[in-house]
Amino acid sequence: MTRLSIEALEKRFDAVRAIAGIDMEVAQGEFVALLGPSGCGKTTTLRCIAGFESPSAGTICFDGDDVTGLPPEKRDIGMVFQNYALFPHMTVNGNLAFGLEMRDIAAGEVQRRIAEVLGLVQLDGLGERYPRQLSGGQQQRVALARALVIHPKLLLLDEPLANLDAKLRDEMRFFIRGLQKRIGITAIYVTHDQAEAMVMSDRIVVMFDGIIHQLGTAEDVYDRPATRAVASFIGLSNFFEGTFSGQVGVHYGLDTALGRIGCGAGFALTPGQKATAMIRPEAIGLASAVPNGAAAFQGTVAERYFLGNLADYRIKMADGSVLQVQQPATASFAPGAVVHVILPADRAWLVRERAP
């Protein structure tokens, strides 16, 4: 159980700045996902933490101890690789014993720990198999067990589920998360799958182009995205560009092409400043009659798609823009119908164009 702090971390590969200065604190026992599109620097960050890449600048501390200069074998980490990287010439037991042998742990204790961890990952009885004699899911669990059996300070996982089929991936998400909670180990988990990040983690780090756009809980990044990039990357969103008109209570007024809409914000603005608001499709309300008390904008149903539990609408607005709206499939508006669109102020959120 270890606290991880990263300060002003930077990594250049010749001309490429794979990480362009990131800071983050991960608390003891916390599960943090690194999320972002391909090439944004997730793997590089993880490899810096593991010690496989030496940062161009910045520091990495475990529990306040600077480990930036330590080689990987001195960092006491457990790492799970995307293709598992099991030792093909060793049995499962051999793979699990390897890290313990490096720590000069007595044979009896090695046996005890292997048995314990095999139980933990539900692979009892498979110790004598070679990796090639295991299914993908089993190999994945051996990789996890091999990282955990050494009781590392930190568990690092780089897209460990990327090679599994959808159903198994779903199961493994809960399995890994459950195990991590039970052991109480601090974990950093790289993924480009937003659903995976949201389901598994305490907090999510959303990265673009080598910098952190947002570090927050799943609710934070979904309901209160920091930037337009975060809002677009995670879930679906509608954006409204406009001018800040002033604060009304907790809500910020934004004059858009549609009219004035109210929204929340995580930063201060001055009246007259340009700003962008976002709202999720399912947060938008549709009504056939003008609703009481709420600000509504008139539009026409352009298209309707049936998604099973939801209906997905494209609503053409007066200013020519098209909104994406999702409603329970029970209420139905036919294409061509005139509807009133409600944009609840407590579900709309101001986003920045660039990372803070």
Q: Which residues pair with 313 in a beta bridge?
A: 304, 325
187 token code pair? 């974990």
Interface with another protein includes 144 (CB under 8 A)? no
Q: How far is the CB of 60 from another protein (least distance, A)?
A: 9
Residues in the interface with Mg ion (CB under 5 A) total 1
Minimum CB distance to ligand ATP smaller for 39 or for 266: 39
Distance between CA atoms of residues 206 and 344, nearest Å: 26
- SS3 for the chain is CCCEEEEEEEEEECCEEEEEEEEEEECCCCEEEEECCCCCCHHHHHHHHHCCCCCCEEEEEECCEECCCCCHHHCCEEEECCCCCCCCCCCHHHHHHHHHHHCCCCHHHHHHHHHHHHHHCCCCCCCCCCHHHCCHHHHHHHHHHHHHCCCCCEEEEECCCCCCCHHHHHHHHHHHHHHHHHHCCEEEEEECCHHHHHHHCCEEEEEECCEEEEEECHHHHHHCCCEHHHHHHCCCCEEEEEEEEEEECCEEEEEECCCEEEEECCCCCCCCCEEEEEECHHHCEEECCCCCCCCEEEEEEEEEEECCCEEEEEEEECCCCEEEEEEECCCCCCCCCEEEEECCCCCCEEEECCCC
Residues in the interface with another protein (CB under 8 A) total 35
Minimum CB distance to ligand ATP smaller for 212 or for 325: 212
> Within positions 155 to 194, which residues make up the interface with another protein, using CB under 8 A?
156
- Interacting residue with Mg ion among 2, 43, 237, 326 (CB under 5 A): 43
Interface with another protein includes 336 (CB under 8 A)? no
| Segment lying near another protein (by CB under 8 A), choices 23-31, 84-92, 108-116, 211-219 | 84-92
| Segment lying near another protein (by CB under 8 A), choices 37-45, 79-87, 263-271, 290-298 | 79-87
Using an 8 Å Cβ cutoff, are 7 and 33 in contact? no
Q: How far is the CB of 19 from ligand ATP (least distance, A)?
A: 8
Q: How far is the CB of 202 from another protein (least distance, A)?
A: 23
Minimum CB distance to ligand ATP smaller for 43 or for 276: 43
Minimum CB distance to another protein smaller for 78 or for 262: 78
Minimum CB distance to ligand ATP smaller for 72 or for 266: 72
Distance between CA atoms of residues 82 and 162, nearest Å: 7
Interface with another protein includes 89 (CB under 8 A)? yes
> Within positions 35 to 94, which residues make up the interface with ligand ATP, using CB under 6 A?
36, 38-44
Minimum CB distance to ligand ATP smaller for 44 or for 186: 44
> Within positions 163 to 182, which residues make up the interface with ligand ATP, using CB under 6 A?
none
| Segment lying near another protein (by CB under 8 A), choices 46-54, 196-204, 247-255, 311-319 | 46-54
Minimum CB distance to ligand ATP smaller for 96 or for 155: 155
CA distances (Å), origin 169, targets 161, 207, 294, 340: 6, 23, 43, 41
Using an 8 Å Cβ cutoff, are 54 and 131 in contact? no
Q: How far is the CB of 298 from another protein (least distance, A)?
A: 53
Minimum CB distance to Mg ion smaller for 154 or for 278: 154
Q: How far is the CB of 251 from another protein (least distance, A)?
A: 46
Minimum CB distance to another protein smaller for 35 or for 150: 150
- Interface residues with ligand ATP (CB under 6 A) are 13, 16, 18, 36, 38-44, 192
| Contact residues: Mg ion, CB under 5 A | 43
Where on the chain is the footprint of another protein (CB under 8 A)? 50-52, 54, 57, 59, 66, 68-69, 71-79, 81-83, 85-89, 98-99, 102-103, 132, 146-147, 150, 156
